[in-house]
Amino acid sequence: MVPLLLVLLLALILFGAGFALKILWWVAIVVLVLWLLGFIVRPAGSGGRKGRWYRW
């Protein structure tokens, strides 16, 4: 009985991790697209310098 419960618990943990990792992949893709769009659509900078959309 205990090994069966351990296998079921392991399956639930792996299923949860797989679901979380899939969500994280989608979040990473969205952030990457926004980051690339920031380089394409740059505001004009002041003082003749090229503007940046981020403040690093």
What is residue 4's predicted lDDT score, i.e. its pLDDT?
Answer: 84
For residue 20, being part of any structural domain is answered with yes
First to last CA, the chain: 56
In a domain, residue 56? The reply is no
Query: Domain span at residue 22?
Result: 2-42
Q: How many domains does the chain have?
A: 1
Classify residue 54: in a domain, yes or no: no
What residues have CB less than 8 Å from 40, skipping those under 6 apart?
Answer: none
Q: How far apart are CA 29 and CA 23, in angstroms?
A: 10
Is residue 19 domain-resident? Answer: yes
* pLDDT value at residue 48: 47
31 within a domain of the structure (yes/no): yes
Distance CA 51, CA 44 (A): 5
Question: Tens place of pLDDT for every residue, the chain, 56 residues?
Answer: 888 888 888 888 888 888 888 888 898 999 888 888 877 776 655 444 555 555 55
* Structural contact between residues 43 and 51, judged by C-beta atoms closer than 8 angstroms: yes
- What's residue 55's pLDDT? 56
